[in-house]
Structure 1
Amino acid sequence: MRRITISVEESLAEQFDKLIETRGYANRSEAFRDLLRNHIESERKSHGGALHCIATVSYIYNHHERELSSRLASAQHDHHDLCVTTTHVHLDHDNCLETVVLRGRVNAVSAFADSLVAQSGVRHGNIHIVPVQREAATGGRHPHVHLMPRT
């Protein structure tokens, strides 16, 4: 492991310490490493450094909205090559939560995830994409994926 030293103004250091306490980090170093990893991962995704990913798309919607449940299910069927599984939770009489797990090329997964969240009537959508390295399939099995190295 390589040691680096950084200097920040007092108010930023206090906010960082509050974040460390809130999130339960053992020390500043681990918190800083996570922030740096997240930033590097975000840059890699936005600049095409990762070709494949796994992702979760979570959203809440009112299942009484005109044909919305049907549109969401049809969209998932139309993208069956990306959809791994869907979890559907009835929150109350009107509202449902769905979490869709996706796998595939970053550009295709990202576009499909955006289209789900953008459906008229979908609220509180959240997309989380994790870049992976993909190995070729062998013996009729699905390809293996490996998380991108955390540097």
Structure 2
Amino acid sequence: MTVVSVSMPDELVERIDEFAETHGYTGRSEVFREASRNLLNEFEDKRLEDRDLMAVVTVMFDYETTSVEEKMMHLRHDHEGLVAANFHSHVGDHYCMELFVLEGRLDAISAFVGKVRATKDTLSVDYSVLPVDDIGMVS
């Protein structure tokens, strides 16, 4: 098995180690392998391929981290054919939330979410994807 070195903040390493111990993993490598498999499989849902999709992407970041807000603005403009709506809001005393509504195909949505996740200093990125033709069937 190949050994891979990863740089990350001490706090995150501590959280991963605690997670591994609490959930019965043999160590952090097992946690990373499972997380990597889940991330790579996330957008490989055959039911979503070749369909018109809607996605909602929510990004949280610290109010004082203006580089994230600027990056979100650039992503919105760079993907204006995909971004159907965008909403920015202040949450609490120190946080901002950026919400994107996307309409498009799986590959475009996946690429957009990947770029959002790769943005330095985001605190969380959450999203959901739904085929547009299934919206009326959801209860």
Q: TM-score range by the shorter chain?
A: 0.5 to 0.7
Q: Is the 8 A contact 2:43 2:110 kept in 1?
A: no
Structure-2 change in CA distance of 1:105 and 1:122 (3 Å): same
Describe the SS at the equivalent of 2:127: strand
TM score, norm. by length of structure 2: 0.59
SS at the partner of 1:147? helix
Distance 1:92 1:111 in 2: 30
Amino acid at match of 2:46: H
User: TM-score, normalised to structure 1's length?
Assistant: 0.55
Write the letter of the residue equivalent to 1:87: F
Deviates most, 100-109 or 49-58: 49-58
Indicate the residue corresponding to 2:108 in structure 1: 108
Taking structure 1 as reference, are residues 148 and 93 closer, same or farther at Cα in structure 2, changes over 3 Å only?
A: closer
Q: Counterpart in 2 of 1:147?
A: 134
Q: Distance in 2 between matches of 1:92 and 1:49?
A: 36
**Which of structures 1 and 2 has the bigger CA Rg?**
1
Structure 1 residues 48, 69: CA separation in 2 closer, same or farther (over 3 Å shift)?
A: same
**Partner AA of 1:88 in structure 2:** H
* Structure number having the greater helix percentage: 2
Partner of 1:63: 63
Q: How far has the Cα of 1:107 moved from its partner?
A: 0.9
Percent identical pairs in the alignment equals 23
Aligned equivalents of 1:148, 1:90: Cα separation in 2: 29
**Residue 68 (structure 2) pairs with residue 81 (structure 1):** no
- For residue 124 of structure 1, report the CA deviation from its aligned partner: 1.8
- Unpaired runs of 5+ residues, structure 1, are 1-41, 133-145
Report the alpha carbon displacement of residue 62 of structure 1 after superposing the two structures with TM: 1.2
8 Å contact from structure 2 (residues 88, 99) kept in 1: yes
Q: For the structure 1 residues 44 and 148, does the alpha-carbon distance in structure 2 shift closer, same or farther, using more than 3 Å as the test?
A: farther
Quote the residue 2:14 is aligned against. none
The 1-side partners of 2:90 and 2:43 are apart by 36
Would you identify which runs of 4 or more consecutive aligned residues in structure 1 move more than 4 Å?
Answer: 42-45
Higher RCO (CA-CA < 8 Å; seq separation 6+): 2
Equivalence for 2:46: 47
Mark the runs of 5 or more structure 2 residues left unpaired by the alignment: 1-40
CA distance in 2: counterparts of 1:44 and 1:102, whole angstroms: 15
Report how far residue 114 of structure 1 moved. Answer: 2.3
